Every structure is written in C-alpha cells, then in structure tokens.
Structure 1
Amino acid sequence: MQVPVVLFWFRRDLRLSDNAGLYHALTSGYPVIPLFIFDQDILGQLSGSQDRRVDFIHDTVTALGSQLQSWGSSLLVKYGRPMEVLMELTEHYHLQAVYANHDYEPAAIARDQQIATFLTSKGISFKTYKDQVLFEKSEVVKDDGTPYRVFGAYKRKWMSTLSDFYLSSYPTHRYQRHYHQTAPFPTPALETMGFSRSSDKIFPSPDLQESIIRNYDQTRDLPSLPGTSRLGLHLRFGTVSVRMLARQALQLNAVWLGELIWREFFMMILYHFPHVVHRPFHLEYEHMQWLHPEGQFERWCAGTTGYPLVDAGMRELNATGFMHNRVRMVAASFLVKHLLVDYRWGEAYFAQKLLDYDLAANNGNWQWCAGTGCDAAPYFRVFNPESQAKKFDKQQEYIRKWVPELGTPAYPTPMVEHAFARDRALKAYKQALNKARGTEPVS
C-alpha cells in the first residue's frame, strides 16, 4: 500500500530556508517530496543551446538535491510540461496535496489555474502561498481598494503597512525530518534538455555585503565601482529570502530598501494590469509612430552607437549577462528616445540577455524609460548619454573597460545628434497623445 505524501513544487523559490510554501508542506503531517520541473515550454523559448540562466538553475537544483540527500531525502527533478509531469506523478504516488508559492506572471497564473482544476478533479489539493514578495496582489492598494499607479504613493502605503509580521521568517529548518526518505533521484543532464554548459559563467554571490548596502545611496550610480548588491539574479530565482533582505535593508539603507519596494510595485502592476506584457500601461501611447531604420537596432545591440556609455553598457550585457542599473536606464532611453525604436524590441533583447531577467521588473523599467508606464514624469524625460557619462563615469573607467577603442578611428561617430533626437522624440510623443485624444491638427 502506498504511503500518503505531498509534493512541494519549487519554482521561483530555489532555497530550503525561509520558504513559505515549503514550510506549509513540511507542517502538513505528510512526508514531503520536493519537486523541480525544467519547463519544456519555457526552455524552448530560449535562443541557442547555451544560456547562463539555465546553468544557474541546474547548478542550484543540483546543490539543493545534495543538501536534501544529506538528510536522507532527494529532489525529484523532471524535464517536461508541468501539467504532464504532475499527471504522471499522480499515477506513481498517493498524493494528498501539491504545495507551491505564488507566481504573478499571466502565463504562470493560467498554468496554475489549469493545474489546480486537474488536481481538484483527482481529489488532490493545490495549495499556494506568498513567498517572493512582502506584499502581493491587493495587499497594498488605495483606500478605495483600487491599485496604485504611481510609485511614490505606493511606497508610502507600503511603508505604513509594513510590520514584523510581514518580515518574519518561516522556520523550515525545524522540520527536516519531514522530508520523504528515499534514495537519490537522478537529475537530467543539460544535454538531455538541448543545452550545453556555458564556459564563461560567473555568478554573483547570494551573500549580502553590508559595506556595499550601507554606502548604496552614495555608490549605486557609479558603474565603475562595485556599488550595487548584484542580488537581482538571486531574487529572480528565490535563492535568497526577500524577508531576510528587507530586514537588513531596514537596518542598513533606506535607498536600497526602496529598490525592493520598486520590485514589488512592478509585480503589483503586472498582476492588476496584465495588458502591460504586450501593450503600453497608458494605452494612448499605442499611437506612437516608432521608427525602425535598417541596422540601427542591431548597432544598439552590438554597442556601436557612437555614444560610449550606451556602448559600454550593451557590451557589458552581451559579455556577462549583467548591466549596471544607471547604464540600463541610459541605454534604454537611447533606444527609445534617440532612435525612436519600439521599447518592446529593447525589452525583448534584455529578456534574452539579462541573468536577472524578471518580466515585471524588465517590463516596468522599460515602460518607465519609454514614458509609457507608471511614472509621474511622462515622456519628456530624455537622458543625455554624454552628460550622464560625465556625471557618473568622470574618469571613463567603466567606459574604457568596455570600449577600449574609444578615441581611435575604429570607434564610430554618433548615430544621431542628441538635440535633434530629443526634439524629434518630443514631437513624436506629443503627436501620439494628440491623436489619442482626438486633438491632432488636420493637415
């Protein structure tokens, strides 16, 4: 007779400590089989046979499995479509419930609804919990219950709502004996999933460096310095607890805490306004007449625009999967405002390249730079790449690292003149808004 068990399905929460859904599974009264699924559909959308993010997940999953083995358990790792994997597991185990943590992306919500319907039809509970944010969905909204659309007001409500309750850890370590005791399960090799290991992978540490966070407000805008936490990758895949980070941020630096709040703001926006995945937050910007001159987007991607700070950022991204946040803003603004290329092109390129790619943050920040999203200052913000370089990379240390041919005939002249590009962008945005409001002058 099969022993009743429950599954805990790891998704964006690849850690055994302070994990909400895992804690509830371990305290369910049933042995817990930990599960991770390499989603065939998601992996199939990636370009090429090498992806640093897949390497990171595979390394992390392997490490989780080793830790569980030291406790007499194992991590069940599957490759396939989640629904098909779970259908198979219901035939092999006497499942009482499947536990997981919430995901707020529209595709993930649809997937979970489909899986919940299937499991319920089998008499199996599907129980999900909040884990990757402190506040989700409608926990921080206006007094009338509607979602915020501007960050500043959201941040004030977020801070006033915060209490020790939301910062408390889940003591999963107390329940290690509740894992299902079993021989090790095999982990699929990367090659069996159509991938090969990248030779140049260097992943940032998951450890919070207090000295960096204490000085974050002084160093965060200087790309030549190691002045940011580099924890985006670990927040994306949940290898660190956001509750732990928030507790430390409250003690160390309010500006860095603000970055965690921005992350939750964009997740809230994605949840309440899922149209932003494909359309502008402010729909009147659908009337924008984007330009796509041949070769210009490709030059931006390659880092050969003739603007050194933009080019340095794009080359850093292509080489490492990382780009400094200040430089991300300048590079994104240049593509949209200087070249008038649809922000969705840049958003998709960052999604392909960034180690810390997150749909909500990537979309939110691109729409912020494009002037189509949630921002009190709309389209008329146009970063000047030259003045940004002088302000934040005075000695050109960052630029020289990534653009060594600067100052030689090998470096291209600027693709477009700043004043001309700014004027053209402002006219294009104004024309789009006039058209949306029905006030466009008759020609």
Structure 2
Amino acid sequence: MTSPQIVWLRRDLRMADQPALHAAAQAGPVIPVYVLDDERAGDHAYGEASLWWLHHSLENLGKSLGSRRSQIVLRRGDAPQVLAAIADEVGAQCVHAIRHYEPWWKEAEDELRDALGEDQKLCLYDGNYLLPPGAVTTGSGDPYKIYTPFSKSMLERMPPRDTLGEPQTVSSPDHWPESDNLADWNLLPSKPDWAGGFREFWEVGEAAAHDRLDWWTDHVADYDEGRNLPSDDITSRLSPHLHWGEISPAQVWHKLKDKRSDGWKTYAKEIIWRDYAQNVIDQFPDYPRESYRDYDERTLWRNPNAGHLIQQDLECWQKGMTGYPIVDAGMRQLWKTGWMHNRVRMICASFLVKHLLIDWRFGEQWFWDCLVDADYGSNGVNWQWVSGTGVDSNMFVRIMAPLTQSVKFGAADYIREYVPELADMDDDCIHDPPDDLRGDYPVKMIEHKAARERALEAYRASKT
C-alpha cells in the first residue's frame, strides 16, 4: 500500500485546479488537513468576517470530499507541529501544499521542513496566483516595485498555465487521524448572530464561485464604466472566492481570455493587481504594518490612541456616521455584508486618512476585521496606495472629494439602500443633505474645504 499523502489546506479550498491535491491524489491515499493556527499571524489573525467565510468554505469543501468518500481532518494549534505529528502517525512521507506568501506562512513552511523526519518532505506548488511572486522581473533581474511595468510584463506572459481538473480519484487511507468538529470551533457568530446580511449577500464555496464566474462572463463587458457605479454594482464579487482559493485566477483568466471588451481589459489588470500585491509583500513582508516612504508620522497623523476625541472620529467612520452619505453607505455596507464596492472603498479610505488625518493602519486593521476578502497583501497595498505612503501610491495631495464623487458616480440608490434615514430624499439632496433636513442623520464631521487645507498643511509639515 502506498503511503498516505497529506494535503495541507490553507487558502486553497477547492477540488479543481488545486495542484497540491492533484499531485497527492496521483501519489497515493489522500489525507486533507486544515489547521486553524490562531496565534501565528499575530495582529493579522483572521477577523470575525473571515472566520464566517472560512466556516462555510470548509463545510462546502468537506461535502465535496465526502462525495468522494474522503474528508478534511480539522485540527487547531501550531500548524507545523500538528502536521508533523499527523505525518508520523499515518506514516506519510510527503506533505503537499500550495505556496503562500504571507510572512507567517513562509515561516511555517520553513518550520515544517525542520519538523518532518529525514524520510519525509514538504512538496510545495504554485496555484493561487497567475504567476509565482518573483517570477516577473525587470531587465536587471530585480522584482518590480511599480505596478504599471509589472502589469505590462505580466500581460506579455499571459495566458497563465493550463488549469487542472478535479482529481479522477481521491483514495482514502486505511486509518483516518482524529479530527475536530467544525461546529466546535465556534467560527460563526451566535450571541448576537450579526451575520444575517452576510447570508443574504453571499453564497460560499467552489460551486458558488463558478456560478458567479458564469454570471460575470455575461457582464464583464460593462465593467470598464460600470465598476465605478455603486448603485448598479457591475463588479464580479469574485474577490472572496479568489482569496479563499475556491477558484483560481488561472480558471478566471481562461474563462474570460477570449473577450475583446474594454471591460475585460480593465478587469484583467485588476487580477494582475492581485499578483502585484503578493509581489510587494514578498519583497516587504511587513508592508501592511509599516509605511514604505519616509515622513514624520507624528506630524501627519492624528493618533486615536492619543485622545478620546480622535478615537470618537475613528468610531464615527467605522460606524458610518461621518455625515457624508457616500462614506457612510460604504462603511455600513461593509458592516452588513463583509464587503464594499471598490470605488467606495477608495472614497472611504481616502476620507479616513485625509479628511480625518487618521493613520492608514487603523483603516487597514478595520478592513482586515470586517472584510470577507481581507487579504494581507491586497489590503496593505491598497491602503498604502490611498495614503500616499506606499512603494507605488497615489500622491497624498490628491484628495478625493466625497460629495463630488457621490454625484459623479450616481450613488443615490446606493445611499438609499445603506443609509435608510435618507431614503426619502431626492437625488438633488441625498448626496449632501441640508442640515435642516438631516433629521437624525449627523452633520458633516468636517467640511471638505477645511479638511483639505488641514491635510495639505499636515503633509507639508511632515516633509520638513
């Protein structure tokens, strides 16, 4: 009997185009293992929204494996130690896994190599990105830091690798290691159950990801203009499925690659942005925690930990009570659904760091806790882009005007959906309601002109 093959699952929760699972299934009986390693990521341990998605994604993958008379072994603890112990228990000579680029997972891969016995090995595969981080380099062989030349080089190397189907067979071992019960992990909220909006908004799992891709195939042509219109929401909503590996970017690319629309060209560059973010954290592992550019942080940012009034400003932003309807609609959509329209994400992020002058890292952490697609690389890169502190970023002095953005991109119906106290206002008023018509809705925390002048002055001071 061939020795069992362990598949270490992380953010790769799918059957098809899963190179680690595919290789393991060809080599022998398969033992898929998911280890909930709570401590390793530190301040980037999964937030509540991510845990909600994780529960349902594991549940769905478990059903898919169950139809093959297989299962997922669930354990909680230090991933390298748990995996090494299981390998010893079942006599496995190989642990198969898809590479991950978060610094804690790279560290765990190194620790697992050390923890395995002399006759055991860790086999790593690429599969979560179009190309492995570090594969696309400049003429001098260095990794790219700037997105535009990176994207151009990526496009020259597309399409990506061919995709893999589901394994034809997934053999089971003679002996299954003990497994935790998923329900006992208590990943779902109960007291209170705040996830009603999540359940209404999302279908989770590999089948749901492909259903969404089928839908997107018919709508991607409208993306170039529609991506900026939150009331219409012509976006793929594939980001959480990609993040959790319920579908691979190679599968998405091959499904859409024959499209000739401007919408597909724009969307293709956003898939490449996802690769770009991984290349950034591969070069700068602490990027979501540390600004890339030099400036006087104490001069530029108002620190919520330094005073209760600044903390109140942060909380108003978090709760969607800033007095700017487009900002508040976005923040409330985030809380209700675990997701936010991409144009509105930029508006809300810009408001925090430029109107309120609050350090981008407080926003990064809030999004990390609240997003179902919270990704270490993408979240950090996007926040540093907005704040003007990144290796490739928008200039700080370019300050988005939320009221202008709201009108320009037709956000009236979006505001009505997520800010119900303004639902009866007509389009002329709803973007910037007069103070005497706001009722219980708050007045603006700060006027745009005053916020802009304050931000520019703080920026000048931080550079002297």
What TM-score, normalized to structure 2?
Answer: 0.85
Is the 8 Å Cα contact of residues 18 and 170 (structure 1) preserved in structure 2?
Answer: yes
Instruction: Find out whether 1:251 has 2:268 as its counterpart.
Output: no
Residue 133 of structure 1 aligns to a residue whose secondary structure is coil
Residue 219 of structure 2 aligns to a residue whose secondary structure is helix
Match of 1:399 in 2: 415
CA distance in 1 between counterparts of 2:170 and 2:347 reads 51
- The letter for the 1-side match of 2:255 is Q
Match of 2:432 in 1: none
- The letter for the 1-side match of 2:294 is L
Is the 8 Å Cα contact of residues 288 and 361 (structure 2) preserved in structure 1?
Answer: no
1:429, distance to aligned residue in structure 2 (A)? 1.9
- The letter for the 1-side match of 2:397 is F
CA distance in 1 between counterparts of 2:25 and 2:238 reads 27
Is the 8 Å Cα contact of residues 74 and 185 (structure 1) preserved in structure 2?
Answer: no
Of the candidates 188, 197, 206, which is equivalent to residue 181 of structure 2?
188
1:92, distance to aligned residue in structure 2 (A)? 1.4
Instruction: Find out whether 1:324 has 2:341 as its counterpart.
Output: yes
Match of 2:402 in 1: 385
- The letter for the 2-side match of 1:278 is R
Q: Deviations over 1:283-313 (max 9, x none)?
A: 3464653114241111111111111100110
- The letter for the 1-side match of 2:396 is Y
CA distance in 2 between counterparts of 1:294 and 1:73 reads 50
Over 3 Å counting, the alpha-carbon distance change for 1:177 and 1:264 in structure 2 is: closer
1:126, distance to aligned residue in structure 2 (A)? 0.5
1:231, distance to aligned residue in structure 2 (A)? 0.8
Of the candidates 70, 75, 88, which is equivalent to residue 72 of structure 2?
75
Over 3 Å counting, the alpha-carbon distance change for 1:88 and 1:376 in structure 2 is: closer
Residue 72 of structure 1 aligns to a residue whose secondary structure is coil
CA distance in 2 between counterparts of 1:420 and 1:153 reads 37
Of the candidates 38, 41, 45, which is equivalent to residue 40 of structure 1?
38
**1:62-101 equivalences in 2 (<5 Å):** 62-101=59-98
1:8, distance to aligned residue in structure 2 (A)? 0.7
Q: Deviations over 1:240-280 (max 9, x none)?
A: 12111012332331111111011111110011112313211
Is the 8 Å Cα contact of residues 79 and 188 (structure 1) preserved in structure 2?
Answer: no
Is the 8 Å Cα contact of residues 72 and 181 (structure 1) preserved in structure 2?
Answer: no
Segments of 5+ residues of structure 1 without an aligned counterpart are 435-443
CA distance in 2 between counterparts of 1:386 and 1:156 reads 34
CA distance in 2 between counterparts of 1:83 and 1:195 reads 26
- The letter for the 2-side match of 1:190 is A
Is the 8 Å Cα contact of residues 26 and 179 (structure 1) preserved in structure 2?
Answer: no
Instruction: Find out whether 1:134 has 2:130 as its counterpart.
Output: yes
Of the candidates 149, 152, 161, which is equivalent to residue 153 of structure 1?
149
Match of 1:31 in 2: 29
Over 3 Å counting, the alpha-carbon distance change for 1:377 and 1:192 in structure 2 is: closer
Over 3 Å counting, the alpha-carbon distance change for 1:305 and 1:360 in structure 2 is: same
**1:46-61 equivalences in 2 (<5 Å):** 51-61=48-58
CA distance in 2 between counterparts of 1:369 and 1:362 reads 11
1:18, distance to aligned residue in structure 2 (A)? 0.7
CA distance in 1 between counterparts of 2:392 and 2:21 reads 36
1:132, distance to aligned residue in structure 2 (A)? 0.6
Is the 8 Å Cα contact of residues 101 and 131 (structure 1) preserved in structure 2?
Answer: yes
- The letter for the 2-side match of 1:300 is W
Residue 277 of structure 1 aligns to a residue whose secondary structure is coil
1:227, distance to aligned residue in structure 2 (A)? 0.7
Of the candidates 222, 234, 237, which is equivalent to residue 227 of structure 1?
234
Of the candidates 278, 293, 297, which is equivalent to residue 267 of structure 1?
278
Q: Which shows bigger deviation, 279-288 or 176-185?
A: 176-185
Is the 8 Å Cα contact of residues 306 and 411 (structure 1) preserved in structure 2?
Answer: yes
CA distance in 2 between counterparts of 1:87 and 1:127 reads 14
Is the 8 Å Cα contact of residues 151 and 374 (structure 1) preserved in structure 2?
Answer: no
Instruction: Find out whether 1:431 has 2:431 as its counterpart.
Output: no
Q: Deviations over 1:78-122 (max 9, x none)?
A: 222212312321331111110000111111111111111111x44
- The letter for the 1-side match of 2:92 is L
Segments of 5+ residues of structure 2 without an aligned counterpart are 304-309, 423-436
1:38, distance to aligned residue in structure 2 (A)? 2.2
Match of 1:440 in 2: none
Residue 336 of structure 1 aligns to a residue whose secondary structure is helix
Is the 8 Å Cα contact of residues 227 and 234 (structure 2) preserved in structure 1?
Answer: yes
Residue 74 of structure 2 aligns to a residue whose secondary structure is strand
CA distance in 1 between counterparts of 2:185 and 2:224 reads 45
Is the 8 Å Cα contact of residues 13 and 58 (structure 2) preserved in structure 1?
Answer: yes
Residue 75 of structure 2 aligns to a residue whose secondary structure is strand
What TM-score, normalized to structure 1?
Answer: 0.89
Instruction: Find out whether 1:167 has 2:166 as its counterpart.
Output: no
1:30, distance to aligned residue in structure 2 (A)? 2.5
Of the candidates 358, 381, 397, which is equivalent to residue 375 of structure 2?
358
Aligned sequence identity (%): 32
1:430, distance to aligned residue in structure 2 (A)? 2.6
CA distance in 2 between counterparts of 1:368 and 1:249 reads 28
Over 3 Å counting, the alpha-carbon distance change for 1:39 and 1:295 in structure 2 is: same
CA distance in 2 between counterparts of 1:185 and 1:74 reads 11
Residue 127 of structure 1 aligns to a residue whose secondary structure is strand
1:224, distance to aligned residue in structure 2 (A)? 1.0
Over 3 Å counting, the alpha-carbon distance change for 1:182 and 1:214 in structure 2 is: farther
CA distance in 2 between counterparts of 1:46 and 1:216 reads 32
RMSD between aligned residues: 2.4
Match of 1:315 in 2: 332
